[in-house]
Amino acid sequence: MALADDIGLLAADGAAAREPVARARHLPGYAYTSPRILAREKDVFFMRDWLCVGRGEELAEPGDYATLRAMGEPLVVARDRGGRLNAFANVCAHRGVEVATGEGNASEFSCPYHGWLYDLTGKLVGAPYMKEAEGFDPGNCRLKPLRLEQWAGWIFVSFAPSPRPFVEFIAPFERAFAPIRQAELKIAYRFDIELDCNWKFIYENLLDTYHVGVLHAATIGAFYDTSGNRSDFEPDGAFTAEYRTRTQAPDGIPLFGAIPWLAERGEDFAMNGYLPPNMSLFVRCDNVNNYTIWPLTPDRCRVRCYHLIAPSFFDDPEYDAKIRVYRDYQQAVLEEDRSMLASLQRAMSSRAYVPGPMSRLESGIHHVINHHLDRVVGPAPRP
């Protein structure tokens, strides 16, 4: 089946998802299993949009760098000697070998294959035995630069030559989350988790208030109140919400107290948001969790989880023990999701699966599904 066939089928079969949420149905299974649809998603989302790739404090010193892959595309972010962050394709200009691996600190990047040498801005500064090559110009052989911006301490990169203006892209999160002052928070921990499901199920699950009181009844569901939520649905697919719940710790008790500038909002203050295609934020009175989503295959993805806290919390004499409680609790919640996400993914390949109707508690999912359809198959026809 050609890519056009898959896209055409999804345009037709996805029409039921475009109905108002009270009449809408979920997407067909192949939307979550098709390699061709995943390739389309790479083109229209991950190669065009701004991607959250990390946090500035992870690359605090000149020479600090980090590498990652965005749907198979290798990139590296490095802080140069002048303190500026740069992003470029992790692809040697000679034969394409990756010039950096993992994370660390380096004065330059040396290709391990033929020894081409690049500085921290991606400029070629050494190329053995290339003087005899006719027309060779080192100035034309730098690592391909990528666009980079920062917001609230987070680093964003785009593979597009002329991406959407960053100020427009980030506007929904700036409006909603500016009072959280994330730039003043610090990373308490970070971990990666791989899950056996399509990448879209991650952000759908994170926006799904319907399952919280059932699957997470023994953890976060014990404190979650679905009434009185204030949600904002943005035309570009972004979603933000403010609601009341407790922090993600046993008994919902903030072990360090509240972040000082959020204390007046109460211990049950909570927000969350999704910024397509790969950033989901969860705010509580005492911490911020960011989940960045990276597709691997149609049925597998990697999620990087950041936990931010106020700098003063690090001075708590019981810091190590308390932060371990937060980490263990967060991972326990994610483990509750793991088996359900795997089951959800398996269902997408079942002949018995028929897309079911949506609940009003799935309005966030309805919103992001419609944005996905707009980008992948094109806007719905006007009546």
- Per residue in 140-153, pLDDT (tens digit) is 999 999 999 999 99
Determine the pLDDT at residue 228: 65
Q: Is the pLDDT confidence value at 226 over 70?
A: no
Task: Give the pLDDT band (50/70/90) at residue 30.
Answer: very high
Can you list the domains of the chain with their CATH numbers?
A: 3-47+172-376 (3.90.380.10), 51-163 (2.102.10.10)
Q: Is the pLDDT confidence value at 1 over 80?
A: no
Determine the pLDDT at residue 11: 94
Find all residues with CB under 8 Å of 160, minimum gap 6, and list them.
Answer: 47, 48, 49, 147
59-100 pLDDT tens trace:
999 999 999 999 999 999 999 999 999 999 999 999 999 999
Determine the pLDDT at residue 380: 80
CA atoms within 13 A on the CB side of 347: 14
Task: Give the pLDDT band (50/70/90) at residue 382.
Answer: low
Q: Is the pLDDT confidence value at 306 over 90?
A: yes
Determine the pLDDT at residue 230: 82
Determine the pLDDT at residue 229: 75
For residues 320-344, average pLDDT: 95
Percent of the chain with pLDDT over 90: 87
Q: Is the pLDDT confidence value at 16 over 70?
A: yes
For residues 340-367, average pLDDT: 96
Task: Give the pLDDT band (50/70/90) at residue 25.
Answer: very high
For residues 302-331, average pLDDT: 98
Q: Is the pLDDT confidence value at 2 over 50?
A: no
For residues 216-221, average pLDDT: 77
Which segment of 86-95, 125-134, 206-215 scores lowest on mean pLDDT? 206-215
Query: Mean pLDDT for the chain?
Result: 94
Determine the pLDDT at residue 289: 98
Nearest to 215 by CA among 108, 318, 332: 332
